[in-house]
Amino acid sequence: MIDPATGDRPLHTQPSGQVEGPACPDDEERDSPSAPEAGTVDGRSTEPGRSTDRPAAETSDTHGPDGTSPSERSAGREGDAGSDRAVGTATAGAALWRMAVAVLGGVLLFASFPPRPLWFLAPFAVALLTLAVYGTSRVRAAFGYGMLGGLAFFLPLLPWTGIYVGPVPWLALSTACAVFFGLWGVLARWLGGLRGWPVWLALAWTATEWARSNVPFGGFPWGRIAFGQADGWYLPLAAYGGAPLIGFAVALTGAALAALVLRVRAGQRTADKGIALTGLAVIVAPLAGLALRPTLPAPDDGLRTVTVAAIQGSVPRLGLDFNAQRRAVLDNHVRRTEELADSVARGQERKPDIVIWPENSSDIDPLRNADAAAVITRASERIGAPILVGAVLVNGDRTTTNSVIVWNGAAGPGKRHDKKIIQPFGEYLPMRSFFRLFSSYADRAGYFVPGHGDGTVTAANVRIGVATCYEVAFDRAFRESLAAGAQLLTVPTNNATFGESEMTYQQLAMSRVRAVEHGRALVVAATTGVSGIITADGTLTQRSDQVVPAALVAQLPLRDTATIATRIGAAPEVASVILTAIGAGLLLTRRHRANQTQVMRSSGNSE
């Protein structure tokens, strides 16, 4: 028997335990309708009792060329028809089974994401998705099962994208993301033909997540498997390879678990060496994460500490018109900051060195509106600290930037971070004239342009790395901040446009992964929640509720050391893409050689 986990030609089994053919690129040729059936040569039977070379002269007029009587031929046709029906029923049953497994895998993957603390479901989800696509006889089937699993994951994960704009954006985005699950299904089917295939499938998972994070329109990394692991054993791996390493580790666990299931179904004994190796592959990644947890920075380790306040002022109303009432959002944040100043004066709170307001906390441009500038200055002077103010700034050409400005009391605005990774179909609309044909929302999308900076601002002599809202999902955002010397990280965000949905919890989990990835304390300031204080080991030490005013104050350490993940940057993703391409190349080479061998054998037989 070929080894199902490490052999060159992996096997899968039917429920009866019988071994089916390998999952490799030439399955389509073997399963082609024009291919001879088993037990035939050029379509002629080679079963005992049926000669393939009986002379036609030896048969009577009532017998066919193969010597069978009319009654025998009739019975044979009926038997063939019955056999075809049985095969068709079995094939349909197998397809339904794979569809059900794919859907269950997608649902479990969704269930592993916040706000549910069910991170441990993710490896089982990958295992089910692997079983759904492994050994399929058609490329399109592998793509279909993978995409079906992707839809079962993204549809419940992303409904917040359509809360205020209707279901079309939600359905379109979910479908586009699911395509990459289909691509993984195709790669999994092919790479399943390599020795040690669970590793190759995990590499393919990481590679397809990289692709989804970059294309189209700059990519959409939401839903990367790492972002569901903030409460789990795998989280410490972020310090050594970032989100890509976590994704690889979870996928490896799941693929190895699927290989273990296939071995058991194939009838291998638990004492077999292959079973032991596959079982080891199942547990090595989560145990590695546990073993590395003590290597993460202690929450109070650093060069020195600063006191930081995150202000959550809330908004008059949720939705796209959260800022319809002029200056209401700004006044809310000024009011909550002045309340904090009163608490400091009474000795009830520690005086902050830095105050962080959320994205869009000033709902009017303070550089163009004197009244807005005046109240921000007043708030900064009352609290006695610089404020990072989120505001939409209008440029001379009427385009806008989503900016975070350092406001230093009477000195006014200082350095700012203009959001560099802007959200397609929200902050700007690609191909606006085309999409206007399908939705009136096209005219409501923004005209934002990306900024050009190093991803940092300086306040109170502290270099702060800023990833505004959507930017936190992208690996490169904080990498640039760390390269510029960031000692502390912050994620100002405005989640009012997504209601009281799970979006804010999903984003908060991303921030926890980023804190571990770069070994920095991180402050999340949200207009409506959830705001949070996160230490460098990913612990959420403080958090606010949703849609209520809040102020979180914490003493946080500043660091200037770099984690391995920070130093190696994009190397894990690049390696996964290159190795996946190498794996596909090995299979193509094998297929080419097999075809050449078959041609040579056919030539020899004809001679």
SS (H, E, C) 443-480: HCCCCECCCCCCCEEEECCEEEEECCHHHHHCHHHHHH
Number of domains in the chain: 2
User: What does the alpha-carbon distance between residue 121 and residue 112 come to, in Å, rounded to a whole number?
Assistant: 5
Q: In the 3-class helix/strand/coil scheme, how is 244-293 assigned residue by residue?
A: HHHHHHHHHHHHHHHHHHHHHHCCCCCCCHHHHHHHHHHHHHHHHHHHHH
Domain assignment present for 40: no
Assess whether 475 and 583 both reside in one domain: no
Using one digit for the tens of pLDDT, what is the confidence trace for 15-65?
333 333 333 333 433 333 333 333 333 333 333 333 333 333 343 444 444
Domain assignment present for 126: yes
**Annotated catalytic residue, options 359, 471, 517, 573:** 359
Assess whether 476 and 327 both reside in one domain: yes
Assess whether 220 and 248 both reside in one domain: yes
CB-CB contact of 467 with 477 (8 Å): yes
Domain assignment present for 274: yes
**Annotated catalytic residue, options 177, 419, 420, 427:** 419
Residue numbers of the chain with a pLDDT score lower than 50: 1-66
Q: What is the pLDDT of residue 137?
A: 86
Question: CB neighbours of 19 closer than 8 A, spacing ≥ 6?
Answer: 1, 11, 12, 13, 266
pTM reported for the whole predicted model? 0.84
Domain assignment present for 38: no
Rg (CA), the chain: 30
Using one digit for the tens of pLDDT, what is the confidence trace for 228-247?
999 999 999 999 999 999 99
Assess whether 214 and 352 both reside in one domain: no
Domain assignment present for 217: yes
Domain assignment present for 605: no
Structure tokens at 53: 């070379």
Q: Decide if 24 is catalytic.
A: no
Q: What is the pLDDT of residue 174?
A: 98
Q: What is the pLDDT of residue 433?
A: 81
Domain assignment present for 336: yes
- Domain range for 441 is 304-559
Q: What is the pLDDT of residue 297?
A: 95
Assess whether 384 and 308 both reside in one domain: yes
Domain assignment present for 29: no
Assess whether 587 and 488 both reside in one domain: no
Q: What is the pLDDT of residue 270?
A: 58
Question: CB neighbours of 95 closer than 8 A, spacing ≥ 6?
Answer: 141
> Which CATH number characterizes residue 492's domain?
3.60.110.10
User: What does the alpha-carbon distance between residue 602 and residue 81 come to, in Å, rounded to a whole number?
Assistant: 32
Q: Decide if 351 is catalytic.
A: no
Structure tokens at 115: 């706000």
Assess whether 350 and 460 both reside in one domain: yes
**Annotated catalytic residue, options 24, 209, 469, 573:** 469
User: What does the alpha-carbon distance between residue 481 and residue 514 come to, in Å, rounded to a whole number?
Assistant: 12
Assess whether 398 and 272 both reside in one domain: no
Q: What is the pLDDT of residue 417?
A: 98
Q: What letter would DSSP give residue 45?
A: E
Assess whether 312 and 219 both reside in one domain: no
Assess whether 332 and 274 both reside in one domain: no
- Cα angle 390, 318, 337; round to 5: 40
Assess whether 312 and 284 both reside in one domain: no
**What element of type H or E holds 581?**
helix 571-606
Assess whether 396 and 262 both reside in one domain: no
Q: Decide if 469 is catalytic.
A: yes
